[in-house]
Structure 1
């Protein structure tokens, strides 16, 4: 990452993952599971934690939207895509809501924390 990209990471209120990203922590993660199992586990994961409030679930589109209840207000969209049988990609789009137009990297930290939680439930695959 260049110096400009590093600085920009801290002075924005939005972060999202994608297939090819300049920041290695924000590259899409793949797991050895099906779309339905991933959706069910993510729904369970968000509903079990007091921090999150499920907003909407679209199993047909593979999307879950979530708000945080405590601390900084954050809106999260989780996208689950089954690439091949038993190879599922999970992507995040996280936006922080605050009076300032930036969150000092809070959105990035949330994505990394969520991926760490998902890694405990599913087997991560190489990004080929």
Structure 2
């Protein structure tokens, strides 16, 4: 990862995942499941954890938006897309709400925590099998 991206990760207040992200830990995760099952796992995680509050769920679009209401505040959008039968991708976008324009990597840590939970609940598809 380039120096600029490393510094930007700590001095920004936003992080998101994508297919070809320079930071390997922020690359899109693939799961061997259906879109509905992945959305249910994500929604249940937010509902069962008192730190989060669900703002909206769109089953048609495959999106869940939530807020972190305890501790450092943040807004999260989880996007679930079924690319093939039993091959679903999950991406996240996290923006930290603070008085400063940086969060010292908090938004990235939130993404890692969300992916850790999804990886425990759903079977992952290694990058070599996509």
Q: Matches of 2:72 and 2:78 in 1, distance apart?
A: 18
In structure 2, list runs of 5 or more residues that go unmatched. Answer: none
Q: Which residue in the other structure is 1:107 paired with?
A: 107
- Residue 123 of structure 2 is matched in structure 1 by 123
Q: Does 1:48 align with 2:48?
A: yes
Normalising by structure 1, we get a TM-score of 0.98
The structure carrying a bigger helix percent of its residues is 2
Which consecutive residues of structure 1, in runs of 5 or more, have no partner in the other structure? none
Deviation at 1:45, TM superposition (A): 1.2
Residues of 2 paired with 1:36 and 1:108: CA distance? 25
Q: d(CA) in 2 for partners of 1:126 and 1:112?
A: 17
User: Hey, what's the Cα distance between the residues in 2 that align with 1:7 and 1:43?
Assistant: 32
Alignment of 1:4-19 (within 5 A): 4-19=4-19
Q: Over the residues paired in the alignment, what is the CA RMSD in angstroms?
A: 0.7
Q: TM-score, normalised by structure 2?
A: 0.96
Q: What's the CA shift string for 1:51-86, capped at 9, x where partnerless?
A: 100000000000000001100110000000001011
Cα distance in 2, alignment partners of residues 52 and 85 from structure 1: 30
Q: CA deviation at 1:40?
A: 1.2
CA distance in 1, matches of 2:115, 2:73: 19
CA offset digits 1:96-120 (Å, max 9, x no partner):
0000000000000110011001111
